[in-house]
Amino acid sequence: MPTGWDNFYIMAGSASATLIGLLFVIVTMGTGSRLSGSSALDGISTFLTPTFAHFGGVLFQSLAVLPPWPSVWPVGIILGLTGLVGLAYSGKVMIRQRKVAFVTLQWLDWSLYRGLPAVANAGLIVGAVGLIAGKSCAPYAVAGAAALLMFVGVYGAWDLTLWLLKNRETK
């Protein structure tokens, strides 16, 4: 990776790790949910797991980029494979979210849950290929993918938090 990107990836990795920890707090808040049964649990896991995967992906990208690699090839291959796996996972999530009918989402929500993760992972693939090819814009594509996944993750965590608070039992 070209020099000068260390601080970005240290910040992105640290933020992702912190947000993964906060997801555990969100899950704990949801233990008093009024909704029980398999449909509510399926719905929560359908939206919680991808949020965790987005933050985990950014953390993994940060860990892959920061070591002093002897060339850009290893990191390019790692990031390219990460993008391919993320793209395949985005497709799986799209199919699973279509089957969940416990919440009504607007077009903006669907674009953020389905479209932007796919765009971010495609950008990661493009950035990885660009790194290997020696393109000067490649680090920006990789960083943009990480930032986009962070944004989508924060949006998903926020939505999930509000939904869990709304459906929490009051005593």
What are 130-168's pLDDT values in tens digits? Answer: 999 999 999 999 999 999 999 999 988 888 887 777 766
The predicted pLDDT at position 39 comes to 57
Of 40-49, 85-94, 118-127, the one with minimum mean pLDDT is 40-49
Contact by Cβ (8 Å): 59, 16: yes
What is residue 24's predicted lDDT score, i.e. its pLDDT? 87
When pLDDT is averaged across residues 59-69 and rounded to a whole number, the result is 94
How confident is the model at residue 102, as a pLDDT?
A: 55
Higher pLDDT, residue 133 or 31 = 133
The string over 85-120, giving b where at least 16 C-beta atoms fall within 10 Å of a residue's C-beta and e elsewhere, is ebbebbeebbeebeebebeeeeeebeebbbebbbbb
**pTM value?**
0.85
Domain boundaries, the chain: 6-166
Q: What is the mean pLDDT of the chain?
A: 85
Res 40: pLDDT: 60
Higher pLDDT, 36 or 159: 159
For residue 108 the two structure tokens come to 């903006």
State the pLDDT at residue 108. Answer: 74
Which residues have CB under 8 Å from 34's CB, separation 6+?
Answer: 167, 168, 169
pLDDT for the residue 34: 59
Q: What is the pLDDT of residue 25?
A: 83
